[in-house]
A = this chain, B = another copy of it.
């Protein structure tokens, strides 16, 4: 299939592009390198050194004989996006092309507005380009489990049947997102459901959990194909960050009590989920939601798991419960349904000591690149402006 990967230079976009290319799809990637720009802004850098996108693509060609198309530009510029969609005629678009950090969106007003405008308007452009030029194309949109917040009832996959005063309807699942970034994903979800309804286009909203890991089958071909790995307080997701802290010997930074429970998945499962969605598209006009995670953990449990595995690797790992910079429940009910992707055949890679150990080994390989100062949380949800 012809597949366009938006945000194809990013943590998940690049491995997805390789995975789909390896499996015989005709892949094009779109990116404006804003993720690299935000690194410059924050004085941060991927722990794993990453090549320029163009060099990665050349290397991929050299190693596999497979070509990946590259388009450099901004989804918010319709004069850039439209001809790509019109000419490449994708049968599926995988959309990672958004600002994806909650803390980044909470830095101050400017970053909040930027995140919402960038994500919402960019996605509207993608939807219009599909409706205008490739109405059969399947938009596989990355959402987040964080759209749901932590309700006191089970989290269903996008919709919930409600009985109320003797009547019944199946309605969009109520959303309680916890940052301006998460809010932008909720806005996208509402917009896309509407676009499918009025134009008859089709979309799968993948409400993804927190991704961990770095190596995929494709990156094993050559270290230089590895994707970025973030450990800083703004873009580093929790488990990856803990593993870096374990290696460099600083305490794991658990926010608050650590009872925050979330869905998690291995980076290899992200790739498999995306392809399963592509190979099993919704029908025209359908908007559907899959909850994309394989296991639920509390942050505190993850810290303990890293501590234990660290010990087995000869590392002394301590845990620090910091004042929580976020406004969130630290002790709550959490049970989310994730049967759709399993039903399509997902074979999960569950979190195991082996995985934790293998990531620790990669982190050790680059440990001289760690800047511990970047790991501390610097963005406070309660303030309107952070330094």
Contacts and interface: CB of A to CB of B under 8 A. Distances in A.
Interface string A95-131: 0000000000000010011001100110011001001
A124 B116 contact: yes
Contacts of A199: 382, 384
Interface in A152-210: 152-154, 160, 162-165, 167-169, 171-180, 183, 186-187, 190-191, 193-194, 197-199
A183 B197 CA distance: 13
B151 A171 contact: yes
Contacts of A117: 117, 120-121
Contacts of A183: 187, 190-191, 194
Give the bracket for the number of chain A residues in contact with chain B.
Answer: 35 or more
A384 B152 contact: no
Contacts of A190: 175, 177, 183, 186-187
A333 B128 CA distance: 31
A67 B50 CA distance: 62
A178 B131 CA distance: 17
A167 B187 CA distance: 27
B125 A113 contact: yes
Interface in A198-227: 198-199
A327 interface: yes
A198 B113 contact: no
B109 A128 contact: yes
Contacts of A194: 177-180, 183
A256 to B, nearest CB: 15
Contact of A160 (B124, B162, B186): B162
A113 B176 CA distance: 24
A38 interface: no
Interface-centre pick from A116, A151, A194, A327 (highest chain B CB count, 10 A): A194
